[in-house]
Amino acid sequence: MLVNVCGCKLQLIQGDITEQHVDAIVNAANSQLAGGSGVDGAIHAAGGPGIMNDTAARYPEGCPTGSAVASSAGNLSAKFVFHAVGPIWRGGKEGEPALLQTAYRKCLQLAVQHDCKTIAFPAISAGAYGYPLDLAANVAVKTVTDFQKWHKKPPEVRFVLFTEGTYGAFARSLEIQMEVQ
Ligand code: AR6
């Protein structure tokens, strides 16, 4: 699914984010930047140890929840990996929506700052961190479309969704948000 947001592209695809050829690949990391399972494990496995060496040297204190930091991309076909730390879902009353929004927004700001034309996001927090999928999709899609409308950048944002269910949730969310414009 591909839509135009104020002259920028927003695309949803089902696939593996480590196979994307983009300027920046976003990782769903933890605040220690310690690596883990899910997309984090896949990115470090495909990208090689250079990514962990770089993050450990540059961010020894990790990254707070709701933010993101940039590293090199090792063997991945990208210039950068942005390590975004989404919130752990604790019922929705602990500021989770705002933290998820700022995690996405920080990545978009890093993309602009590093002059990235293309950036690929996974569904941050929607796996091990337990954020309900439909709610996570709404925050993700709204944050990206609002940013593209306001800044007219990045020129291409791709959500790379690993499963059919995740893709479906993002597609529904995008359809609804394009209608209410
Ligand atoms: N490409 C794209 N998406 C993927 C891939 C992939 N190769 N692999 C999994 N996903 P998760 P979180 C999807 O758990 O919820 C880690 O241990 C997956 O289907 O990776 O933010 C970290 O170290 C799901 O939709 O991230 C943290 O400790 C989405 O990626 C913690 O998990 C996010 O699931 C972060 O949890």
Kindly report, residue by residue over 137-149, the tens digit of the pLDDT. 999 999 999 999 9
| pTM for this predicted structure | 0.98
Q: Which residue of the set 16, 40, 115, 134 is catalytic?
A: 40
Domain ranges of the chain: 2-179
Mutational test site, ligand 1, from 17, 20, 162, max ligand atoms within 8 Å of CB: 162
Average pLDDT, the chain: 97
Which among 39, 69, 90, 163 is the best mutation to test ligand 1's pocket, defined by most ligand atoms within 8 Å of the CB?
A: 39
Distance between CA atoms of residues 161 and 170, nearest Å: 8
**Using an 8 Å Cβ cutoff, are 62 and 33 in contact?**
yes
40 is catalytic: yes
Phi-psi region of 129 (alpha: psi -120 to 50; beta: other; left: phi over 0): alpha
User: 5-57 pLDDT, tens per residue?
Assistant: 999 999 999 999 999 999 999 999 999 999 999 999 999 999 999 999 999 99
For 50-93, what is each residue's pLDDT tens digit?
999 999 999 999 999 999 999 999 999 999 999 999 999 999 99
Q: What share of the chain is helix, strand, coil (3-state, %, to 5)?
A: 40, 20, 40
Radius of gyration of the chain (CA): 15
Q: Please compute the mean of the pLDDT values over residues 104-121 and round it to a whole number.
A: 98
To which residue do tokens 């730390």 refer? 85
- Could you give the 3-state DSSP secondary structure of residue 145? helix
Gap from CA of 126 to ligand 1 centroid (Å)? 7
- The answer to whether residue 181 scores a pLDDT higher than 90 is no
Whole-angstrom distance, CA of residue 66 vs CA of residue 140: 13
pLDDT at 168: 98
Here the tokens at position 176 are: 């609804």
Largest CA distance in the chain: 45
Specify the residue for token string 């927003």: 10
Q: How far apart are CA 133 and CA 122, in angstroms?
A: 12
In CATH, what is the architecture of 2-179? 3-Layer(aba) Sandwich (3.40)
Pocket of ligand 1 (CB under 6 A): 16-18, 28-30, 36-40, 42, 86, 122-129, 160, 162-163, 166
Pairing verdict, β 24-28 and 68-71: unpaired
